[in-house]
Amino acid sequence: EDEVELQSLVKQFLRSISDKISSAPSPECAEEILLHLEETDKNFHNYEFVKYLRQYVENALGSVVEEETNNLTREDGQHAIGSGHDTLIHAVTQRTRYSAE
């Protein structure tokens, strides 16, 4: 049942963006359009497929990401592994990728 729903969402998503992809002069350009769709399509976060993926990732990784963020951030709000938002994101991403969960 989940697979059927996912197929339906993907088809709906592809129909929604087909004009953008079809107008690309080459497959490489179509790939670039897809890679930057979040930045260029104001409706990106409203697509049901995107919502589904976001929820799936949250359900699958949310607790791991939260735990790693807490582990890497001290109580005073300073990052335990260096300064900067990008550094924290990189560290959490790396630890999450290799987590046993």
For 2-39, what is each residue's pLDDT tens digit? 899 999 999 999 999 999 999 999 999 999 999 999 99
- Residue-averaged pLDDT of the chain: 82
Residue of higher predicted confidence among 97 and 3:
3
**Reported pTM:** 0.65
Phi, psi of 23 (to 5 degrees): -80, -5
| Angle subtended at Cα 17 by Cα 12 and Cα 19, rounded to the nearest 5 degrees | 125
Task: Give domain limits for the chain.
Answer: 1-46, 61-101
Provide the pLDDT confidence category of residue 88 given band limits of 50, 70 and 90: low
Distance CA 12, CA 54 (A): 16
Residue 71 pLDDT greater than 80, yes or no: no
Among residues 38, 50, 54, 57, the alpha carbon closest in space to that of 10 is found at 50
